[in-house]
Amino acid sequence: MVFSSYLFIFLFLPIFLSLYQVTPAPWKNALILVASLAFYYYGDPAGTWVLLCSVVGNFAFGRCIAATRDRGDGDPAPSLASRRWLAGGIVFNLGVLAYFKYVGFLTRNIDAFGAWLGRPELVPVINAALPLGVSFFAFQGISYLIDVYRGTIGASRSLLQFATYKTLFPQLIAGPIVRYKDVADELQRRSVSETQRYEGTLRFVIGFCKKVLIADTVAMTADAIFRLPADQLTIGTAWLGVVAYSLQIYFDFSAYSDMAIGLGMLMGFRFPENFNYPYVSTSVREFWRRWHMTLSSWFRDYVYISLGGNRAGPVRTYANLLIVFALTGLWHGAAWTFVAWGLWHGLFLVIERVVDFERRRIPTVVRHAYVLLVVVFGWALFRADSFGHALAFARAMAGIGVHASQHPVAEFLDPLQAMSIAAGLVFSLPLYPWLRARLAPRAAGWVGAPAFASLFAIASAKVLSGAYSPFLYFRF
């Protein structure tokens, strides 16, 4: 069940919000837990058992870490026993993630290496079904255990509260990655004001419209061009395909985050922001401060800093950055193209540090152009099915070895798709907050409410016609 489906919009959500409104405060967490498990079970019945094991396992490891953390000799450092429980908890979460997401990738690569050595079928290839959202709830569990170990938060004493946190359906499938400390107080007591209801509804509607009217429409252009044989790509079609995909992945993923944050508000939770107009960045470093912000901060706090960060000299810093971004790429998918995509970004982050890029007096327009080129070429690698496919797009975008094609650019741009791409280009800029800041609150309501109500009606009609697609990050 996805947020942009008619089943969610017109059945699940109204029923849930109606029940939530009348449920007494002590029972609201139980209602959320039941609704979240039903939501997840509808999308992945088999994966529900993995989710429940993650809930119980992380709760138990958290309690064990907290119970053994005190050394008993006045030393504030965590005890050896606590460190062992932490290691066990991390292995537990990474084990779940590795088996379901990477075991097929690992066994296929071992087989390929065996074939190169003349030993084909060295190991049996294992293909495990990927549970929905496993990348997100595994990282969520690791952050919880590390924070308990560091003393940043106390371990939850209520399995109900912890299960509610782990299964919260707005952020369960594709984030944002909500840390326990972000919602610990709200799990115990929260309220929803009229302002929150309005802001939450508006945020959800914005995300819904971004997903249905922009992301799903430009996806048709991107998918059609990425299906073309390599020898039929031209400069125009290659650039159009990659620009369309750049808009698709941004509006698809940021739309999910908007909808999740809006749903959280309607339930009394404040989830962290996940996107902040990344395509206006003037450095790759800034791009990663604006793109998938909860993932970036997760890798910074739990991997980069643990590796030593920038405390051990420039060479070690550069190595740490490359390691982190290789892992970032691998987190997105079990394929070498994803690892290469992560290293592509890591390489430019290293270059920017070496040349002290952000302090150099470079015209802003040049900075923007540089970042967009890096990001867009990176998306070609991210979207491609193989390195050969990615290279074909890179060569076509650079105008190398292209020939006339029977597929003109106009073939992939009907008026609706052209309008959606234009809207995507405009609204990838911070136009909405700029306009909202310049309108009086009452005027913003008068203008915004009818406009978004109309867009919601159009998007709903499109959904009811059956024209919707799953969120891209469900695959990651």
**C-alpha dihedral over 201, 216, 370, 284, to 10 degrees?**
50
- Cβ neighbour number for residue 61 with a 10 Å cutoff: 25
The gap from C-alpha 293 to its chain's centroid, in whole angstroms, comes to: 9
Burial 125-138 (b: 16+ CB within 10 A, else e): eeeeebbbbbbbbb
Closest alpha carbon to 238 in 248, 229, 247: 229
Task: Please give the distance of CA 452 from its chain centroid, rounded to a whole number.
Answer: 25
Answer yes or no: 407 catalytic.
no
| Angle made by CA atoms 135, 141, 147, in degrees to the nearest 5 | 135
Could you tell me if 208 and 9 are in contact, meaning their C-beta atoms sit under 8 angstroms apart? yes
Of residues 16, 294, 29, 314, the one with CA closest to residue 182: 294
108, 127 in Cβ contact below 8 A?
no
Rounded to whole angstroms, the Cα distance separating 244 from 44 reads: 30
Active-site residue, selected from the candidate residues 292, 332, 368, 403: 332
Token output for 272? 């962290």
User: Annotated active-site positions, please?
Assistant: 332
